[in-house]
Amino acid sequence: GAVVSQHPSWVICKSGTSVKIECRSLDFQATTMFWYRQFPKQSLMLMATSNEGSKATYEQGVEKDKFLINHASLTLSTLTVTSAHPEDSSFYICSARVGQGAFFGQGTRLTVV
């Protein structure tokens, strides 16, 4: 199947700093990627839809100035968590639509201390 690579797989950062997460489609071009957040024992929560060459579309309640998304090429989307706080600690996962379905990156475990 299609491969979506996400990096880093885990990161620990200090409160107030920013963290960038990369999501790459390795063997296909992805004009649209999705960013999810998942808290322990909860389901995936869609944060935003990343569109190549245009602004991301954010879901209701997601702060666009805090979660900066850049989709500058057909194979790379980035999510930057700005001024991170402990409550931002979560599992962040990207995905790309391929045909009718979607494939996920490996996920990034963010811990803010």
Partner 1 sequence: QKEVEQNSGPLSVPEGAIASLNCTYSDRGSQSFFWYRQYSGKSPELIMSIYSNGDKEDGRFTAQLNKASQYVSLLIRDSQPSDSATYLCAVTPDYKLSFGAGTTVTVRA
**What single-letter amino acid sits at 99?**
G
Tell me if 60 contacts partner 1 by CB under 8 A: no
| Burial class of residue 10 in the structure, from the number of CB atoms within 10 Å of its CB (0-12 exposed, 13-18 middle, 19+ buried) | exposed
Tell me if 28 contacts partner 1 by CB under 8 A: no
Contact pick of 33, 96, 105, 112 for partner 1 (by CB under 8 A): 105
3-state secondary structure of 8: coil
Tell me if 89 contacts partner 1 by CB under 8 A: no
- Interface positions with partner 1 (CB under 8 A): 1, 6, 32, 34, 42-44, 46, 49, 91, 93, 95, 97, 100-107, 109
